[in-house]
Amino acid sequence: EAGVAQSPRYKIIEKRQSVAFWCNPISGHATLYWYQQILGQGPKLLIQFQNNGVVDDSQLPKDRFSAERLKGVDSTLKIQPAKLEDSAVYLCASSLGGQGDYEQYFGPGTRLTVT
């Protein structure tokens, strides 16, 4: 079974520029998550989708971050404009979803450096 795919793996941008990350979850997984992991910290949930609907985006800085999951499969996370403090690894995860005890499976992440 193929895992969660993410691209690009690395991105370096200057502050105030925009950037987009792409994620393709495991086939058949209804729930998709975007996490931000700052160096030395655990991942923090930014947004959770159930199919193509948003379940939780309470920690997403909506003035600069946006995410979509068209057709309930792959997803994109965008930052515009980027700030220095956005330097982090952005992790995408997926799970079967719904009520129950489902594991989350993570992709390799995108390491963003904002200079």
Could you give the CA distance from residue 73 to residue 50 in angstroms, rounded to a whole number? Answer: 10
Write the CB contacts of 93 (distance below 8 Å, at least 6 apart in sequence): 4, 32, 33, 35, 104, 105, 106, 107
Q: Which is nearer to another protein, 56 or 68 (CB)?
A: 56
> Which residue, 28 or 40, is less far from another protein as judged by CB?
40
**Whole-angstrom distance, CA of residue 9 vs CA of residue 79:** 16
CB of 16 to another protein, least distance (A): 27
DSSP string, 66-113: EEE-GGGS-EEEEESS--GGG-EEEEEEEE--SSS----EE---EEEE
Instruction: Give the shortest CB-68-to-another protein separation in angstroms.
Output: 19
Least distance (Å) between residue 106 CB and another protein: 4
Instruction: Pick the closer one to another protein by CB: 80 or 110.
Output: 110
Binding site for another protein (CB under 8 A): 4, 6, 31, 33, 40-45, 48, 55-56, 91, 93, 95, 97, 101-109, 111
Residue with tokens 């199919």: 51
Is the CB of 81 or the CB of 108 nearer to another protein?
A: 108
Residue 67 CB, shortest distance to another protein, in Å, is: 15
